[in-house]
DNA sequence: ACCGGGATGTTCT
DNA sequence: GAACATCCCGGTG
């Protein structure tokens, strides 16, 4: 007897997203990453907020000016993790998209914590409540223990210690959309998507500008 | 609640 | 030298 649909989703065996998922333009594919699971060992969270970066065509992208030592992973095959240092202090994680050489990527901006919350809390002493553990790109990298050592990890095979899983929860049928947060160039492009109503989407300072965020 | 400043690696002008 | 896909803490209302 098949279980009800909601239970089927919750109990489906988690399997990695296939390589082909990443081989597309993130301006269309990025919202499909919502509600997938990002896992590093036993620590994991559900992706609730993402931003697309469109390679050479996108002045806000690290790939805009071509390959460098830092962004080399962006120009490799899709389905790998690009980790970079932000403002000299924090780490941020992207999934590489598109055909190899295009520099397309999706920044993971927030997770709803799923597993390993005690470990996350040890790494994120400043977090005052569980919803703050992975609320923001620098915070989620810290909570998952992601650093430059994870740059290049294969999200499909798990080689490198990081994997993106589909556990049967569908993306939101109507994701929230806004401009990207914290970018100065190409600030008008509506390439941020989030799970509507989700409390774990990253905080936005009102001085930055009006961004729909609940 | 809102705001402002500081920390600081990599890239670019 | 300056900018930057950030976060945290302490000030003020």
Q: Which residue has the higher pLDDT, A10 or A144?
A: A144
In chain A, the N- to C-terminal Cα span, in Å, equals 39
| Contacts with A80 (C-beta within 8 Å, 6 or more apart), sequence order | A73, A95, A96, A152, A153, A154, A155
pLDDT in tens, A52-63: 999 999 999 999
Name the E strands within chain A. Answer: 15-16, 37-40, 43-54, 81-86, 90-97, 104-115, 162-166, 176-178, 192-194
pLDDT in tens, A161-180: 999 999 999 999 999 999 99
pLDDT in tens, A8-29: 445 568 999 999 999 999 999 9
Q: Is A109 helix (H, G, I), strand (E, B) or coil?
A: strand
Closest residue to B3 measured CA to C1′: A207
The full set of domains in chain A, from first to last, is 15-194 (3.10.300.10)
Closest residue to B2 measured CA to C1′: A206
Q: Which nucleotide is nearest to A141 (CA to C1')?
A: C6
**Strand B close residues, chain A 171-210, CB < 7 angstroms:** 205-207
Query: Is the confidence at residue A41, as pLDDT, over 70?
Result: yes
Closest residue to C8 measured CA to C1′: A126
Give pLDDT, residue A13.
85
């Amino acid at each position: 007897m098949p279980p009800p649909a909601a239970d089927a989703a919750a109990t489906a065996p988690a399997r990695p997203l296939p390589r082909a998922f990443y081989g597309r333009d993130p301006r269309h594919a990025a919202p499909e990453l919502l509600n997938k699971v990002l896992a590093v060992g036993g620590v994991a969270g559900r992706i609730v907020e993402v931003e697309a970066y469109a390679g050479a065509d996108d002045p806000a992208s690290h790939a805009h000016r071509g390959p460098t030592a830092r962004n080399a992973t962006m120009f490799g095959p899709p389905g790998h993790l690009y980790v970079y240092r932000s403002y000299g202090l924090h780490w941020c994680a992207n999934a590489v998209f598109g055909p190899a050489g295009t520099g397309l990527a999706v920044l993971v901006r927030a997770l709803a914590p799923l597993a390993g919350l005690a470990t996350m809390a040890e790494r994120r002493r400043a977090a005052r409540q569980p919803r703050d553990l992975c609320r923001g790109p620098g915070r989620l990298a810290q909570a998952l223990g992601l650093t430059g050592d994870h740059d290049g990890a294969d999200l499909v095979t798990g080689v490198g210690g990081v994997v993106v899983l589909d556990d049967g929860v569908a993306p939101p049928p109507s994701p929230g959309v806004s401009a990207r947060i914290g970018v100065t160039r190409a600030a008008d492009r509506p390439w941020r998507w989030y799970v509507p109503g989700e409390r774990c989407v990253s905080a936005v300072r009102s001085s930055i500008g009006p961004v729909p965020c609940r």
